[in-house]
């Protein structure tokens, strides 16, 4: 046993969940980013938490519009995750189109659902908490969509490696 830094220890945390967080601006133009630091926070009421770095465009959009969608990506979205996880919507026009993400209109919020995702959670902003170098956003889940034609959701194995979350792998 040896003492190591927290950052070093966290390089051993994989596999890690990855979700896509979709938001939009005042004109309804959508944006999406990859988020590894997320979790269900409560069933009753239904709350889902995501941790966002202070400079990402998504945080600005969620603060302005008070709405977002959390999508659990399925197999085949590996390159889309990499793209939206390494390019900011502040710098790229039509980020979702360039990433190749197919959108579907949501039922209750303006940001879109993603077609090739297993689960889409429509959320409104419940609260935000200062979490050091990140902001923890708590979303109240307003509607949930399951796409059972997507067989497996993807997990992040680090260093741009993704694999389906199935027990046999
Ligand atoms: C697999 C993966 C996981 C990521 N997890 C997070 C995360 O949990 N929180 C975060 O703030 N950024 C995370 N990022 C980085 C953001 O997705 C990235 O900064 C993105 O460009 C922000 O886009 P935006 O400025 O359009 O909102 C992750 C990136 C990847 C590839």
Beta strand pairing status for 117-131 and 113-114?
A: unpaired
pLDDT for residue 167: 53
pLDDT for residue 78: 96
pLDDT for residue 169: 37
> Sorting pLDDT into bands at 50, 70 and 90, what band is 122?
very high
Between the two ends of the chain, the Cα-to-Cα distance in Å is 29
pLDDT for residue 89: 98
> Sorting pLDDT into bands at 50, 70 and 90, what band is 151?
confident
Residue 18 Cβ contacting ligand 1 at under 6 Å: yes
Write down how long the chain is. Answer: 169
Beta strand pairing status for 117-131 and 67-73?
A: antiparallel
Residue 52 Cβ contacting ligand 1 at under 6 Å: yes
Distance 145 CA to ligand 1 centre (A): 23
Q: Six-digit token pair at 1?
A: 């046993």
pTM, whole model, 2 decimals?
0.97
pLDDT in tens, 2-54: 999 999 999 999 999 999 999 999 999 999 999 999 999 999 999 999 999 99
d(CA 71, CA 114): 7
**Helix and strand totals (H; E) in the chain:** 4, 12
Nearest atom in ligand 1 to the alpha carbon of residue 37 is 8
Backbone angles phi, psi at 20, to 5 degrees: -110, 135
Distance 91 CA to ligand 1 centre (A): 14
Pocket test for ligand 1, best of 34, 52, 156 (most atoms within 8 A of CB): 34
Going by CA atoms, what residue is nearest to atom 4 of ligand 1? 35
Mean local confidence (pLDDT), 128-149: 97
Nearest atom in ligand 1 to the alpha carbon of residue 53 is 11
Q: Give exposure, 133-154, as e/b (b: 16+ Cβ within 10 Å).
A: ebbbbbbbbbeebebeebeebb
d(CA 62, CA 117): 21
């Amino acid at each position: 046993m040896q003492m190591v830094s927290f950052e070093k220890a966290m390089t051993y945390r994989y596999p890690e969940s990855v979700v896509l967080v979709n938001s939009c601006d005042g004109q309804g133009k959508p944006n999406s980013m990859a988020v590894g630091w997320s979790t269900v926070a409560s069933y009753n009421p239904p709350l889902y938490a995501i941790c966002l770095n202070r400079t990402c465009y998504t945080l600005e959009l969620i603060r302005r519009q008070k709405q977002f969608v959390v999508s659990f990506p399925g197999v085949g979205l590996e390159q889309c995750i990499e793209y939206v996880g390494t390019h900011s919507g502040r710098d790229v026009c039509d980020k979702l189109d360039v990433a190749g993400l197919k959108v579907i209109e949501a039922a209750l919020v303006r940001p879109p659902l993603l077609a090739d995702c297993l689960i889409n959670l429509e959320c409104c902003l419940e609260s935000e908490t200062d979490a050091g170098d990140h902001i923890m956003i708590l979303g109240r889940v307003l509607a949930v969509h399951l796409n059972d034609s997507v067989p497996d959701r993807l997990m992040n194995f680090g260093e741009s490696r993704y694999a389906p979350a199935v027990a046999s792998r």
